Amino acid sequence: MSPADFKNSEFDIFPAIDLLDGRSVRLLRGQRESAHVVHANPVEQMREYAAAGARWVHIVNLNAAFGDSPEIHSGAAETEKLIGMLVASGGLKIQLGGGIRSAESLGRALSLGVSRVVIGTWAMTDFENVMEFVRREPERFVIGVDSLGGSIAIRGWTQTSPETTLAFAGRLKKAGVRTVLFTEVERDGMLQGAALEATAALAAESGLSVIASGGVGGIDDIRALSECSGVCGVVTGKALAAGRLSLIEALSYQRS
């Protein structure tokens, strides 16, 4: 199958760096107490991704996601400082998510110089205001669509909305959103395989460009996702950290 056969000719691999208290960590199902360090130097980690041939890095500010304020939480201040260092180091475009739930936190994230931001809960709780920002610069925004049992999971996956995943995706498409980051919460960090059917269905039924996230266990997941019409990329972190996936091999499926 050639790139011309795909709805989206572009497919990117987004190696992930999750930051908590200025450290590169991984969590299991989003639980703070499960955090363990996976790389001693996040700046070097990003340089390794760039050297392998990645075009993007997906960074999650876990301190912001957990509601830590940089003004009163030293770990949050360290994480924000580190993100600035990652931006300054250059080489990769940065997609930043985690805790963007207000115009103030959005401004703070964009001021760091990242290429685009991921908005999750805020898009559900304050839809129209978020869409106003999206319409101004749609290329700088990705909306997080976190699914738990077919419904939207919000507030760090601790609650669900009565709205179904597909209904919410339809609203996003009508409002002018171009790209979403789709995660089946149950699979995150479990290495049990990507949500292939659900990801493909979301792309097909919504007409959105979908970045897959969660559950990637190895190269077979990357290959399968790269063949799904409408899927424009995949975020992977745990599989890389666990040695289950070679970034160089994964990047062989990257196309533009």
Taking only Cα atoms into account, the Rg of the chain, rounded to an integer number of angstroms, comes to: 17
Structure tokens belonging to residue 183: 């995660």
Q: What is the domain partition of the chain in residue ranges?
A: 3-251
pLDDT of amino acid 38 = 92
On whether the pTM is more than 0.85, the answer is yes
Q: What is the pLDDT along the chain (256 residues), one digit of tens a residue?
A: 444 444 557 999 999 999 999 999 988 767 888 889 999 999 999 999 999 999 999 999 999 999 999 999 999 999 999 999 999 988 899 999 999 999 999 999 999 999 999 999 899 889 999 999 999 999 999 999 987 776 676 555 555 667 888 899 999 999 999 999 998 865 554 456 788 998 999 999 999 999 999 889 899 999 999 999 999 999 999 899 889 999 999 999 999 8
pLDDT of amino acid 1 = 41
CATH topology of domain 3-251: TIM Barrel (3.20.20)
pLDDT of amino acid 34 = 87
Enzyme catalytic residues: 18, 146
pLDDT tens track for 85-103: 999 988 899 999 999 999 9
pLDDT of amino acid 3 = 41
Determine contact, residues 237/26, Cβ cutoff 8 Å: yes
